[in-house]
Structure 1
């Protein structure tokens, strides 16, 4: 029996898991979070373009926040009337953060935690803060413009 040549490329764990998910989902439409081949890279095409209306500012709790999964944006309110917006894509593996709890933006994939005031990494493995977006309140509604 012959062995594979030493020059054969190694398959990443992510590639194997995404491939397995695709095989299992054959015949149906399924979104597999964090399986893009460019996870972790800065992809301008995945950020929303132009100002995005996210609805009433009153939906964002003081000292907390809300994840807008479809738009890949998380909005927080660290202090009364002070709104912050960030990319909801974790800087570790590209997963979408899933909640804002205990004054932290939390990623479900590997446990990264980010500050609600500045998006700074508070607990890794994320290597860098969440990218900040411009946010304004117009007519009581949140308008977020990704950078």
Structure 2
């Protein structure tokens, strides 16, 4: 949208780093509340068992504001599900498409790329790894 600044990666991550993991569900905004941007923890977040994301699949972890996909070669990718348009948490995954409830932006959950405006910036990619059979995402830098 012309004239509207797009939040920088640093701004999104700084905002996301304000709330501990236990409070994520309560802190996340949804249509009709105060519109505050959701927060993510400052420390790495354990999302679930490695087997939860099969090859070629994508899984949304709404309490962590993270989506994880696994390529056919087994590599994992993770993205913040905080919309880059207005900071709303995305809680809807349709196949491999994330749909923001606030203004209808759509993103490819495998690449983070914008599929439908008003968002113009891709989702923030997060470092992701497997530790002791568990998927762990980091808030990034």
- With normalisation by structure 1, the TM-score equals 0.64
- With normalisation by structure 2, the TM-score equals 0.66
- Find out whether 1:123 has 2:123 as its counterpart: no
Count residues with an aligned counterpart: 113
- Find out whether 1:100 has 2:99 as its counterpart: no
Which one has a bigger Cα radius of gyration? 1
Q: 1:33 aligns with which of 30, 34, 54?
A: 30
- Are the counterparts in 2 of residues 137 and 143 from structure 1 also a CA contact under 8 Å? yes
The runs of 5 or more residues in structure 1 that have no matched partner are 1-28
Alignment of 1:9-48 (within 5 A): 32-33=29-30, 35-37=34-36, 39=37, 46-48=39-41
Does 1 or 2 have the higher relative contact order (CA < 8 Å, sep 6+)? Answer: 2
1:121 deviation in Å?
A: 0.7
Cα root mean square deviation, aligned: 2.6
Divergent runs of 4+, >4 A: 29-32
Alignment of 1:65-144 (within 5 A): 65-144=58-137
- Counterpart-to-counterpart distance in 1, 2:27 and 2:42: 25
The runs of 5 or more residues in structure 2 that have no matched partner are 1-25
1:32 deviation in Å?
A: 4.7
